[in-house]
A and B are shown apart, each in its own frame.
Chain A
Amino acid sequence: AQKVTQAQTEISVVEKEDVTLDCVYETRDTTYYLFWYKQPPSGELVFLIRRNSFDEQNEISGRYSWNFQKSTSSFNFTITASQVVDSAVYFCALSENAYGNNRLAFGKGNQVVVIP
């Protein structure tokens, strides 16, 4: 069963628009960690944000913000005032404490295309 679901496959926005990426996860652990990574065309996965299951406080970091809601098992990510350099595939990932190895389970990714 898919542990991380990212429903939208490709999202196109015009530059300066906001874009929100949805992530729904599934776990039985009470302690877990959620991540967002960015994969530009070069292929390298770039770490963006990390959240643990005990901290539902939503934050803003520059143009990035996230909305973590345990009640709905969602960890959504927003890019404000998008730029062409934001064009990439964005992955949501889950690390469950039960495994002890911190392996990441990734969603299928959201392809974001920012049109100038």
Chain B
Amino acid sequence: DTGVSQDPRHKITKRGQNVTFRCDPISEHNRLYWYRQTLGQGPEFLTYFQNEAQLEKSRLLSDRFSAERPKGSFSTLEIQRTEQGDSAMYLCASSRDVYTGETQYFGPGTRLLVL
């Protein structure tokens, strides 16, 4: 079973630039989640998809953030006009949609540094 993959693993950008991250979930998983983790903190929920539908967005997700999951497969997270405060690890997770409380399996993350 191939795990969750994320690309790129690291991204350095200048303030004001746009960046896009990709997440490929475990193939049979219908649910896909994005989390953000800053230094010394636990991951915080950003948004989630059930198949191609984005069902919830956290208040952490400002208007500069947009996520998509076309065709219910891979997902992209775009940050426009990046700010230094966006520097963080962006984690993607996927799970089945059979029972409540299904285990989420995480990818290796994309570490973003905004200069």
Binding site for B on A (CB under 8 A): 4, 31-33, 35, 37, 42-47, 50, 52, 91, 93, 95, 97, 99-109
Looking at the assembled complex, report how far the CB atom of B2 sits from the nearest CB atom of chain A, in whole angstroms: 14
Q: Is B85 an interface residue (CB 8 A)?
A: no
Number of interface residues of B (CB under 8 A): 27
Q: Is the CB of B101 within 8 A of A95?
A: yes
The answer to whether residues A101 and B89 also contact, given A45-B43, A50-B103 and a CB cut-off of 8 A, is: no
Q: Is the CB of A108 within 8 A of B41?
A: yes
In this complex, the member of B33, B40, B43 whose beta carbon has the largest number of chain A beta carbons within 10 angstroms is: B43
Binding site for A on B (CB under 8 A): 31, 33, 35, 40-45, 48, 55-56, 89, 91, 93, 95, 100-109, 111
Q: Is the CB of B95 within 8 A of A103?
A: no
Closest B residue, CB atoms, query A4: B42
Q: Is the CB of B89 within 8 A of A43?
A: yes
The answer to whether residues A103 and B56 also contact, given A43-B89, A44-B107, A108-B42 and a CB cut-off of 8 A, is: yes
Distance A65 CA – B105 CA, assembled complex (angstroms): 20
The answer to whether residues A108 and B108 also contact, given A43-B89, A45-B91 and a CB cut-off of 8 A, is: no
Closest A-B pairs by Cβ, 3 of them: A106-B42, A33-B101, A45-B106
Q: Is the CB of A31 within 8 A of B100?
A: yes
Q: Is the CB of A35 within 8 A of B103?
A: yes
Q: Is the CB of B56 within 8 A of A101?
A: yes
Distance A108 CA – B43 CA, assembled complex (angstroms): 8
Closest B residue, CB atoms, query A46: B106
The answer to whether residues A106 and B43 also contact, given A42-B108, A43-B89, A44-B109 and a CB cut-off of 8 A, is: yes
- For B105, list chain A residues within 8 Å (CB): 47
Closest B residue, CB atoms, query A35: B103
Distance A35 CA – B81 CA, assembled complex (angstroms): 35
Distance A45 CA – B89 CA, assembled complex (angstroms): 11
